[in-house]
């Protein structure tokens, strides 16, 4: 667990390296390739801080001040970004943390049961066994109760996060894309939501954990370069995007 935490805090989340390029020349080439110059130069397509043409699904992170490939979110807990390189580790870390914390709560419960607090404590008047035990733990070992309550709160929060992440992973969306869905026009076709990256939930999972359908999100800059994509989306005219 600590190993994963170290990677998530100190590791590279998928920083896109700045190449020494002639930006003007690169933009010119890019525009010639894309819609004969009709493609708009916006902060969605170019990062003027990193001086790069932004790969698809990347975003400039203000804290790291770098563009992150397949940006998911900035994690307040690890103070680092979650992106292409560490997104799968982030989800695995959450699952391991929830498991370890659940075992901790269970062990505390067993310890309290084993300790066999006396029921005859006169200061506690309750017929409810659980409340009786909790009240006695609070009186005799308040740190256990405090640690268990905090851990249970964390378990709920982390479970909520994991479910949110899994919901995104099976739909092949990042948290950033889910939150800002309406800002990204390529998720809509004829006014209807349609995800060009969606390969079906099984394949999306394989892609997320880098087992199969691996895409180099550092370098894919336009839709034609995606090696694995939602063919239903691309069956219709690309001009509508």
Please report, as ranges, the residues that interact with Zn ion according to CB under 5 A.
Answer: 47, 49-50, 60, 67
- What six digits make up the tokens of 11? 């590791």
CB of 24: closest distance to Zn ion in angstroms?
A: 17
Strand locations in the chain (E): 46-47, 52-53, 59-61, 66-68, 73-75, 80-82, 188-189, 192-193
Least distance between Zn ion and beta carbon 67 (Å)? 3
Of 150 and 219, nearer to Zn ion (C-beta) is: 219
Q: Cβ of residue 226: shortest distance to Zn ion, in angstroms?
A: 21
DSSP-H helix ranges across the chain: 2-10, 23-33, 87-115, 129-140, 142-171, 175-179, 201-208, 231-235
> CA 19 to CA 77: how far, in whole Å?
31
Q: Which is nearer to Zn ion, 47 or 56 (CB)?
A: 47
Task: Compute the distance between CA of residue 87 and CA of residue 8 in angstroms, rounded to an integer.
Answer: 9
Residue pair 111/105 in contact by the 8 Å Cβ criterion: no
Nearest approach, Cβ of residue 64 and Zn ion (Å): 9
* Cβ nearer to Zn ion, comparing 8 with 67: 67
Kindly tell me which of 66 and 229 has the beta carbon lying closer to Zn ion.
66
């Amino acid at each position: 667990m600590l190993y994963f935490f170290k990677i998530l805090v100190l590791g590279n989340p998928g920083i896109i390296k700045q190449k020494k390029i002639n930006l003007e020349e690169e933009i010119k080439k890019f525009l010639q390739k894309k819609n004969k110059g009709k493609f708009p130069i916006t902060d969605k397509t170019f990062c003027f801080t990193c001086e790069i043409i932004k790969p698809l699904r990347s975003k400039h992170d203000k804290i790291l001040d770098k563009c992150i490939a397949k940006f998911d979110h900035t994690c307040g807990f690890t103070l680092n970004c979650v992106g292409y390189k560490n997104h799968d580790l982030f989800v695995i870390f959450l699952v391991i943390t929830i498991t370890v914390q659940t075992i901790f709560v269970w062990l505390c419960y067993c310890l309290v049961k084993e300790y066999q607090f006396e029921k005859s404590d006169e200061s506690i008047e309750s017929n409810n066994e659980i409340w009786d035990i909790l009240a006695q733990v609070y009186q005799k070992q308040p740190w256990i109760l405090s640690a268990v309550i905090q851990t249970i709160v964390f378990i709920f929060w982390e479970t909520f996060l994991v479910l949110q992440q899994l919901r995104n992973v099976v739909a092949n969306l990042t948290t950033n894309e889910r939150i800002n869905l309406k800002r990204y026009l390529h998720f809509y076709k004829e006014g209807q939501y349609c995800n060009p990256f969606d390969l079906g939930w099984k394949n999306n999972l394989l892609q997320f954990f880098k087992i199969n359908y691996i895409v180099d999100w550092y370098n894919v800059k336009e839709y034609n370069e995606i090696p694995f994509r939602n063919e239903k989306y691309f069956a219709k005219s690309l001009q509508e995007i």
